Amino acid sequence: MKRAKFKKEALMLLPLYLFTLVFIVGPLVYMVILSFLQRAETWGVTSEFTLKNYLDILEPVYLQTFAESFKLAIISTVLIMLIGYPFGYFMAKLTAKWKKRTMMLLMIPFWTSSLIRLYGWIIIFRANGVFDKMLMGLGITDAPLKLLYTYPAVVVGMVYALLPFMIFSVYSSAEKLDWSLIEAARDLGASRIRAFLTVTLKLTLPGLLSGVILSFIPSMGLFFIADILGGNKVVLVGSLIQNQLMKAHNWPFAAALAVILTILTSVMIALYRKLSGVKDLEGIV
């Protein structure tokens, strides 16, 4: 009797499990298989097993792409952290009414199409655009800087696109913070800095780390930001994968790159879980 009852409700899981198996497990498994296959001379793949795709990644050109992409991701993430952490922290200290208002003001740009926001930066950065005019107007420079299609433009684009994730993560951590603990530390004679480092930072670490992951991982894959703001000067791992798929048609190589990126991502998430002791990423939904 009990068994039959359980089975009926398990049927509710069927659509989710079927979809997951067919459209998520299936494609991911195929990606791994594909990464070990030999590329065919003209089109598609042969069924020959090979490690060539992985060895190709070790070529200086591609290693450099990985290194550059990492560098960009690190620079962006550090900037996002420096800007986003105080924001989330201060926001958690606001009164309930202002918390709500600030959240609303954050949600509007966050929900606005990322392309609209990217386009705004084109207007700002293009030669003789808003930024150049402003600088020249203030007499800081006397010639247009032409920042569009440069490295800094891409960094700004990344920081701008991913900052909300850091803010939401830090905020949701800092919101739960028991402020009396900090007071206690201060009462017991800890300096402001000491109290921050030993109490506040430690307790908001899950949020901070979650924000780091949520900004670091996408900043290796958001090829359209590098594309639009960086011209073809900044190549991310994401751009490399896209090029190998759509232009070079070397699918096995693209698959190998994706496998490596997936492994990197999983390692980071596993590290996060270990360091923070939290199972789900803070503030992800």
Partner 1 sequence: MKNKTYLPNIYLGVILLLMYVPIVLVILYSFNESKISSVWDGFSLKWYEELFRDRSLFESLRNSIILGVASSCAAAVIGTLGAVGSSKVQMRGKGVMEYISTLPIMIPEIILGMVFMVFFSLIGLPFGMMTLIIAHTAFCIPYVFMLVKARLVGLDKSLEEAALDLGASKIRAFFDIVLPLIAPAIASGMLLAFAMSFDDVIISVFVTGVDSNTLPLKIYSQLKTGVTPKINALCTLMFVATILLCGLSILLGREKKPKKPAENV
Length of the chain, in residues: 285
Torsions phi, psi of 193, nearest 5? -65, -45
> To the nearest whole angstrom, how small is the minimum distance from the Cβ of residue 112 to partner 1?
5
Name residue 39's beta-bridge partners: 45
CA distance 25 to 69: 27
CA distance 210 to 80: 12
Stretch that binds partner 1, among 110-118, 171-179, 193-201, 203-211 (CB under 8 A): 110-118
CB closer to partner 1 out of 24 and 51 = 24
In the structure encoding, which two tokens stand for residue 57, read together? 């990644």
> To the nearest whole angstrom, how small is the minimum distance from the Cβ of residue 122 to partner 1?
7
Stretch that binds partner 1, among 56-64, 175-183, 195-203, 237-245 (CB under 8 A): 237-245
**Using the rule CB under 8 A, is 148 a contact of partner 1?**
no
> Using CB atoms within 10 A of its CB, is residue 39 exposed (0-12), middle (13-18) or buried (19+)?
buried
Size of the residue set binding partner 1 (CB under 8 A): 82
CA distance 208 to 94: 19
**Using the rule CB under 8 A, is 104 a contact of partner 1?**
yes
Q: Are 136 and 50 in contact (CB under 8 A)?
A: no
Chosen residue from 1, 16, 58, 193 binding partner 1 by CB under 8 A: 16
Return the residue matching tokens 């991701």. Answer: 73
CA-based end-to-end distance of the chain: 39
**Using the rule CB under 8 A, is 233 a contact of partner 1?**
no
3-class DSSP assignment, residue 47: strand
**Using the rule CB under 8 A, is 50 a contact of partner 1?**
no
- Among residue numbers 155 through 214, which ones bind partner 1 (CB under 8 A)? 160, 163
**Using the rule CB under 8 A, is 241 a contact of partner 1?**
yes
**Using the rule CB under 8 A, is 230 a contact of partner 1?**
no
**Using the rule CB under 8 A, is 9 a contact of partner 1?**
yes
Stretch that binds partner 1, among 56-64, 99-107, 174-182, 185-193 (CB under 8 A): 99-107
Estimate the crossing angle of helix 151-175 against helix 60-92, to 10 degrees.
Answer: 40
> To the nearest whole angstrom, how small is the minimum distance from the Cβ of residue 90 to partner 1?
4
Chosen residue from 158, 182, 258, 282 binding partner 1 by CB under 8 A: 258
Chosen residue from 222, 226, 235, 256 binding partner 1 by CB under 8 A: 222
> To the nearest whole angstrom, how small is the minimum distance from the Cβ of residue 120 to partner 1?
2
The maximal CA–CA distance of the chain, rounded, in angstroms, is: 84
**Using the rule CB under 8 A, is 112 a contact of partner 1?**
yes
Q: Which helix (H) or strand (E) holds 256?
A: helix 251-276
Chosen residue from 70, 75, 78, 126 binding partner 1 by CB under 8 A: 126
CB closer to partner 1 out of 11 and 188 = 11
Query: Looking at residue 129, what DSSP letter applies?
Result: S
**Using the rule CB under 8 A, is 87 a contact of partner 1?**
yes
Stretch that binds partner 1, among 29-37, 146-154, 171-179, 194-202 (CB under 8 A): 29-37
**Using the rule CB under 8 A, is 263 a contact of partner 1?**
no
Cα–Cα distances in Å, from 101 out to 90, 91, 175, 185?
14, 10, 15, 31
